[in-house]
Copies of this chain bind each other. A is one copy, B any other.
Amino acid sequence: MACLLANMERWPRALPLVVEKRDRRQDLMRSAISVFARYGYHETGIRAIVEEAECAIGTFYLYFSSKADCFIALIDALYHQTMQAVMAERSEFSTAEAKLRGSLSAVVEVLLRERDLTRVVLVQAVGADPLLETHLWHIHRTFADLLAGELEECGLGPERSSLGAWAFVGALAEVFGLWAREPEQNLEEMARGVRSLFWTAWGLENASDGPV
């Protein structure tokens, strides 16, 4: 995914970075997100992706070594964006609790901003393919570990921290799944509701010095 600024701005730009000059790889990833989000991994053919990107099948293989490789690139893109956002946000605060709140906010914000991509990663990728599984799971684990670490710093025991982190990730994914299937649901509200639900579960006061 590359990119990722290095400037003032708190949030890296969304996936479709400044499109100075038609970037084929970007085009293809955008197409892929849109098509995968609609039809799922197995139901999506390379043809559908390149048609949306308006290029030839051969071109696809110039930028990705396989369908799975492309999918992994999407997973990674979301991963990197989220990680950056989390890191940027964390650095703004000093107390463990504020950092945690910042992390959760950052995650939720990025996922909300990249809805289609999130839908692809959290909903479509799950039973897709052993290869993707591994990759996807690595990321789940990374996040869960990150959150667990922060929870521990907030004073929860290691067991509760780890479990809480996994549960949070799962709950967020479910809510995305719900929205993906019933788009009339208010995704923002649900996502923030999940955050506050867990806040309570973890016995942290609904403090107010952090981000919304």
Residue numbers of A with Cβ under 8 A of B are: 39-43, 123-130, 133, 137, 140, 159-160, 163-164, 166-175, 177-178, 181, 189-190, 193-194, 197-198, 200-201, 203
Contacts and interface: CB of A to CB of B under 8 A. Distances in A.
A123 B169 CA distance: 14
A200 B39 CA distance: 38
Contact of A170 (B164, B173, B189): B173
A101 B70 CA distance: 44
A175 B140 CA distance: 11
A14 to B, nearest CB: 23
Contacts of A200: 200-201, 203
A41 B127 contact: yes
Contact of A197 (B41, B42, B201): B201
Q: Which of A140, A181, A190, A197 has the largest number of chain B CB atoms within 10 A?
A: A197
Q: Which of A125, A126, A168 has the largest number of chain B CB atoms within 10 A?
A: A126
Given A124-B127, A127-B127, A178 B197 contact: no
B174 A167 contact: yes
A155 B117 CA distance: 36
A198 B164 CA distance: 10
Contacts of A189: 159
A137 B171 contact: no
